[in-house]
Amino acid sequence: MHLSELTHPNQLHGLSIYQLQQIARQIREKHLQTVSTIGGHLGPGLGVVELTLALYQTLDLDRDKVIWDVGHQAYPHKLLTGRYADFHTLRQKDGIAGYLKRCESKFDHFGAGHASTSISAALGMALARDARGEKFKTVAVIGDGALTGGMALEAINHAGHLPKTNLLVVLNDNEMSISPNVGAIPRYLNKMRLSPPVQFLSDNLEEQVKNLPFSPELSRLKEGMKRLAVPKVGAVFEELGFTYMGPIDGHNLEELISTFREAHQHPGPVLVHVATVKGKGYAIAEQDQVGYHAQTPFNLTTGKAAPSSKPKPPNYSKVFGETLSKLAENDPRVIGITAAMATGTGLDIFQKRVPQQYIDVGIAEQHAVTLAAGLACEGMRPVATIYSTFLQRAFDQIVHDVCIQKLPVFFCMDRAGIVGSDGPTHQGMYDIAYLRCIPNMVLMAPKDEAELQRMIVTGINYTDGPIALRYPRGNGHGVPLMEEGWEELPIGKGEILRQGDDVLLLGYGSMVYPSMQVAEILSEHGIQATVVNARFAKPIDTELILPLAQQIGRVVTLEEGCLPGGFGSAVVETLMDADIVVPVKRIGIPDLLVDHATPDESKAALKLTPPQMAEQILKLFSQQPAPVTAR
């Protein structure tokens, strides 16, 4: 059977090991061909090919449910569930999503972009099944990196307390999340990987004593002997109420199938520990598991990315990492904190330069924020560097542990705004709204990479409470950077970049340069705009903005964030509080989910390109009478 003929995972039933191995080879070929052509996640999916095939051969996917943690490890799942023919559209506009989406396939039982959610969701489904008296199997597949997340541990704690609730947790242990895992849990799992499998000892003991006469004493002896077989391997999981099986070879189909079949027969919660290799089957990815977690298009033979036609300015993450590192070298109080995203945030640069001032907490954003609060209590300058989308996971800690206590924690939110092909789970468009409402918080965003440098200095020097900096994914504008001597910015002060009497354009962060382009287009139609780089969404520069709004009489706000509760809302509230009533047009991301596409495609669909924004403003002028200028 060829992979292209598989339209339903139940077609795997009855296939021989040899046939499954051939399908495994085809999955890897299709996976590599697709990602090398259009980009996407590579290493995670390559590592779970055999795991997926073996698991699905032992399940009835018309009834049973598999919940994948995160989702970028589920590319083989997509290929086995009717999406082979469209797989070339992966992460493209109107194509297959890079993560799981319930609306995309009946086999995507739970959407997943953030880590550590699968066990909770699977347990919820299992409890619903039992409440309705149904009989399907429920399986959560979670990586060892995601197991460091507190939510996964909370779910394990709950499931272990329910001995009559059948639940299978498959631990995909490849010693990695995006980067190598850190902490006591990964260290424990590593010891387990290096220990010889001991399940056979329990099984052998069962065989030896099953024909002996039953007695309570013998039953207790059997259980005691089985416990002796487990301590060095699965003791923690066994003590938490799970039946532990493993570790087993995650690329041995016979062993996997045999183990999964046995696991399905055990009552209560079961954990199968599967040892896999991230990037399996592509030697270059196996050797560089961090670099090949995800890739832009690349040459399959060499593994090298396609050369760029022209040099690009440095990206914001790199500028951030370089600048913070230089400041930290001269200030031992500066502590860089990441939640398993060193490479993505630029803190890998920081780690190399000042390793003693670097902390990776694993996939544990809540812990990262409260850890930063504790550091701030003792006079350190913690810099919590977390993607905008991931900082959402620590909202209560921001409120309860940082803002209420007015602690000087510096939040740096990478990937703020539209992020592209990762889709709704990763769009960084809510941070302005969810942070602006919290007392004691300061919010700022740079217009370019040079201003980013100054804002990093501002954030480190600010000691009156928490302060947050958002910056976009991708490259800067190519403006000159300074190696040292950056000046901090006055809190809550913007700047005028262009003057005109007809309309006031207030740009925030990544929308400042587009605001200047909009002003140029408007000038071609005889409309002269004042353009302000707001710099701060909180506090708003009332001394600058209120007189300009009153004098000019028309206001347009531009932001790369959600409109409800965003920067534009802050401006409207400020004008109302000052009893200034003028027309205000808010331009930003409306109240909808932004699906996967390139950032440029998303902006065009949302009417956020400079020509489209200028057109909206021109329509506004045609519908409104000329404002009466205050005398």
The pLDDT value given to residue 186? 63
Listed range (67-76, 120-129, 246-255) with the worst mean pLDDT:
67-76
Structure confidence at residue 185 as a pLDDT band (50, 70, 90): low
pLDDT band at 631 (very low <50, low <70, confident <90, very high): very low
Among 151-165, 172-186, 593-607, the minimum mean pLDDT is found in 172-186
Dihedral pair phi/psi, residue 463, rounded to 5°: -120, 5
Q: Which residues are the active-site residues?
A: 278, 365, 393
Whether residue 519 is predicted with pLDDT greater than 50 in this model: the reply is: yes
Sorted by sequence, the CB contacts under 8 Å of residue 358 that are 6+ apart come out as 335, 336, 338, 342, 347, 350, 351
Give the whole-number percent of the chain exceeding pLDDT 90: 65
Phi, psi of 171 (to 5 degrees): -90, 105
By CB atoms closer than 10 A (0-12, 13-18, 19+), residue 153 is middle
Question: What pLDDT is recorded for position 211?
Answer: 57
Residue 16 sits at φ, ψ, to 5 deg, of -75, 165
Instruction: Tell me, yes or no, if the two domains 3-193+234-286 and 316-470 fold the same way.
Output: yes
Residue 567 CB partners (closer than 8 Å, separation 6+): 432, 506, 508, 534, 537, 557, 559, 561, 588
Using alpha carbons only, give the angle 539, 542, 546 rounded to the nearest 5 degrees. 145
Q: Indicate whether 49 pLDDT > 70.
A: yes
Say if CB 115 and CB 124 are below 8 A apart: no
Q: What is the pTM of this model?
A: 0.84
The whole-number pLDDT of residue 202 equals 45
CB of 426 within 8 A of CB of 392? no
- Whether the per-residue pLDDT at 229 is higher than 50: the answer is no
Confidence bin at 63 (pLDDT 50/70/90): very high
End-to-end CA distance of the chain: 82
Residue 104 confidence (pLDDT) above 60: yes
Is residue 1 scored above 80 in pLDDT?
no
In the CATH scheme, what is the homologous superfamily, with its name and number, of domain 316-470?
Thiamin diphosphate (ThDP)-binding fold, Pyr/PP domains (3.40.50.970)
pLDDT higher than 80, residue 213: no
Is residue 437 within 8 A of residue 468, CB to CB? The reply is no
| Order of strands, sheet of 167-173, starting from the edge strand that comes earlier in the sequence | 65-68, 138-143, 167-173, 269-275, 243-249
Q: Residue 600: how many CB atoms within 10 A of its CB?
A: 12
Give mean pLDDT, residues 569-574. Answer: 98
Please name the residue ranges forming H helices in 411-566: 431-436, 449-461, 512-523, 542-552
Q: 606-630, pLDDT tens digit by residue?
A: 999 999 999 999 998 777 665 554 4
Residue, of 580 and 626, whose pLDDT is higher: 580
When pLDDT is averaged across residues 69-78 and rounded to a whole number, the result is 86
Class of domain 495-623: alpha beta
pLDDT at 425: 86
Residues 254-299 have pLDDT tens digits of: 999 999 999 999 999 999 999 998 888 787 777 777 767 777 787 8
Rounded-to-integer distance, Cα 366 and Cα 400, Å: 11
Residue 219 has pLDDT above 70, yes or no: no
Q: Which range scores top for mean pLDDT: 186-200, 211-225, 294-308, 367-381?
A: 367-381
Q: Is 576 exposed, middle or buried (0-12, 13-18, 19+ CB in 10 A)?
A: exposed
- 184 has a pLDDT exceeding 80: no
User: Distance of alpha carbon 135 from its chain centroid, rounded?
Assistant: 34
Q: Which residue has the higher pLDDT, 82 or 199?
A: 82
Output the pLDDT for position 278: 85
Q: What does the pLDDT read at residue 420?
A: 83
**Number of neighbours of residue 1 by Cβ within 10 angstroms:** 13
Mean pLDDT of 525-537: 97
Q: What is the pLDDT of residue 193?
A: 56
User: Helix or strand or coil: residue 570?
Assistant: helix
356, burial (CB in 10 Å: exposed 0-12, middle 13-18, buried 19+):
exposed
More confident residue, 180 or 232: 180
Residues in the chain: 631
Mean pLDDT on 197-204: 46
Task: Check whether 559 has a pLDDT greater than 60.
Answer: yes
When pLDDT is averaged across residues 69-82 and rounded to a whole number, the result is 88
Closest alpha carbon to 156 in 184, 182, 118, 114: 118
- In terms of DSSP H, where are the helices of 268-356? 283-287, 316-329, 342-345, 347-353
Domain residue limits, the chain: 3-193+234-286, 316-470, 495-623
CATH architecture group of domain 3-193+234-286 = 3-Layer(aba) Sandwich (3.40)
pLDDT for 189 equals: 66
What was the pLDDT predicted at 572?
A: 98
Q: What are 379-422's pLDDT values in tens digits?
A: 999 999 999 999 999 999 999 999 999 999 999 999 999 998 88
Query: Which residues does 521 contact at the CB level (< 8 Å), separation at least 6?
Result: 610, 611, 614
Q: Name the percent of the chain lying above pLDDT 70.
A: 89
Q: Is the pLDDT of residue 231 over 50?
A: no
Average pLDDT over all residues of the chain: 88
Q: What is the CA radius of gyration of the chain?
A: 27
> Rounded to 5 degrees, what are φ and ψ at 533?
-85, 105
Contact in structure between 442 and 462 (CB atoms under 8 Å): yes
DSSP states of 171-217 as a string?
Answer: EEE-SBSSSB--SHHHHHHHHHHHSPP-HHHHHHHHHHHTTSPP-HH
Between 11-25, 159-173, 183-197, 415-429, the lowest mean confidence (pLDDT) is in 183-197
Model confidence at 46, pLDDT cuts 50, 70, 90, reads confident
Q: Are 397 and 377 in contact (CB under 8 A)?
A: no
Residue 444 pLDDT > 50: yes
